[in-house]
Structure 1
Amino acid sequence: MKQLVDFSSRTVIVTGAGQGIGRCAAQLFHDLGANLALIERNAETAEELRGSFAKERTLVLVGSVTDREFVEKSVATVAGQFGGVHGLLNNAGITRTAMTDKMTADQWQQVIDVNLTGVFNCLQAVGKEMIERNKAGDANPGAIVNISSDAGRRGTIGQINYGAAKAGVLGLTMSAAREWGRYGIRVNTVSYGVVETEMTEVIRGEKFRERSLSSIPLGRFLKPEEAVNSVAFLLSEAAVHITGQHLSVNGGSHIGF
């Protein structure tokens, strides 16, 4: 029987691969047989990553997704070494928390640069590489998953920059899916609720914990190693004919059409 979620001989780029969801995704794709290209801006973390995965199947690239030249060169390097890029997990993100009336221009711009423009930079560079291979005869050039959040679908308190960026990611997904469907490229979003990572420590803390849990019908927060299963599904052949969609992985905290 064919294994649908199998990444043998496929190459996946994971941005923000040093911790949390990115790190768990890298481990999962490694275990599923993928060649890995891990983008991480922290040099020390990147060095630790190099020793964690099979050397012959792993590239670690140090830089920021906000740097278009770095992103373009990285995609070219990955494609040259592994023969193409078949999957992208657009995961890199930051938070800069402040109430709307107190948010500085720098706090706004930093989050927009990483969480929206950075996602576009990676989406565009990988999409171009996939289009080239499709034109050369590859009918199944690959798939892209952009990470969004419930904050981008219903708003959030103290993170208007983050909410705006994550809402923008939904638009990137839908537009790219419409444009690139003719090339066989699928583009989808995973929108998370509360995942147990450093970025959600405040709302999982004593002050907000009960309130946060009360809004989740399944009654618990999501572990990062659980969260990445949805990404593997959408990047795999199991998700054939699924594109332009926003998959909510939030325990039911956001339910709607």
Structure 2
Amino acid sequence: MKNPMSMQGQTVLVTGAGQGVGAAVSELIVELGGNVVLLDVKEDELRALADRLGSEKATAYVGSVTDPAFVEATVRQAAEKYGAITGLVNNAGIIRTAMIEKMSKEYWDQVIDVNLTGVYLCLQTVGRHMLERIKDGDTAPAAIVNVSSVAGRRGAVGQINYAAAKSGVLGMTMAAAKEWGRHGIRVNSACFGVVSTEMTEVVRSEKFRDAYMKQIVLQRFSDPEEVAKSVVFMLSDAASYITGQHISIDGGLHIGF
């Protein structure tokens, strides 16, 4: 039996690929036989990852997901190199924390630009590429995973900008799934809880750790390699009849105690 999680012959564009979840997802895709197109603003980390994975399997593009021209050029060049982009992991994200009454317009705009508008631009551009090749008779798979968060479902203290963006990602996922389902393009969301990355250092600190741990059913934080498996599952043939869904990968944080 063929491994339903195989990524053989597939090429996936991963944003925010320089570290954390993006890097772990990229590594797993290559391990399962696929190619990766790596996007990030962090050049050193991105190029180091591309070197580890090998030039035949990975290509690095340094730039911001908020730049439409950069996103369009990346998709075009990657499609020329690999023949087709079959998957997208919309993972790039930032946080800028402040209580609502103290939240600056600058902090609001920065998070919305990357975590919501950036997701839209990448989804739209890769989606256009997928539609074009499908209409030309290409039968290669087409799957998109938008990274959301438990914050998009429950809200988050000190992160109204992040919660709003991640909630918006859920709506974007369902809209895209409805529009593109008839073309065979699947679109789902990965809703993370507390993953041990640079972005969650404050949450995992001594000050907040116990409060969060009390709400996590599995009583532990996850790591990038653990959650990457679920993301790649949604890209793979193992999830061929799943679309428009928000898969919680949070150890039960969304249901709490």
For the pair 1:124 / 2:90, whether they are aligned, the reply is no
**Kept in 2: contact 1:140–1:185 (CA 8 A):** no
SS in 1 for 2:77: helix
SS in 2 for 1:147: strand
Residue 8 of structure 1: CA displacement? 1.1
Match of 1:243 in 2: 243
> Aligned pair count?
256
Match of 1:254 in 2: 254
CA–CA separation in structure 2 for the residues paired with 1:123 and 1:106: 24
- Give the aligned residue type for 2:210: E
- Give the aligned residue type for 2:219: G
Match of 2:153 in 1: 153
SS in 2 for 1:51: helix
CA–CA separation in structure 1 for the residues paired with 2:174 and 2:128: 17
Residue 49 of structure 1: CA displacement? 2.2
Residue-by-residue CA offset, 1:153-204 (whole Å, 9 max, x unaligned) = 0100000000000000001100000000011000000101111111111111
Unaligned ranges ≥5, structure 1:
none
Evaluate the alpha carbon distance shift between residue 53 and residue 140 of structure 1 in structure 2; reply closer, same or farther with a 3 A threshold. closer
- Give the aligned residue type for 1:127: G
Percent identity among equivalent residues? 55
- Give the aligned residue type for 1:201: E
SS in 2 for 1:144: strand
Residue-by-residue CA offset, 1:90-133 (whole Å, 9 max, x unaligned) = 00000001111001100000000000000000000100010011
CA RMSD of aligned residues (A): 1.1
Match of 2:231 in 1: 231
Match of 1:186 in 2: 186
Residue 27 of structure 1: CA displacement? 0.7
TM-score, normalised with respect to structure 1: 0.97
Residue 57 of structure 1: CA displacement? 1.6
CA–CA separation in structure 2 for the residues paired with 1:204 and 1:82: 39
For the pair 1:47 / 2:23, whether they are aligned, the reply is no
Residue 140 of structure 1: CA displacement? 4.4
SS in 2 for 1:79: helix
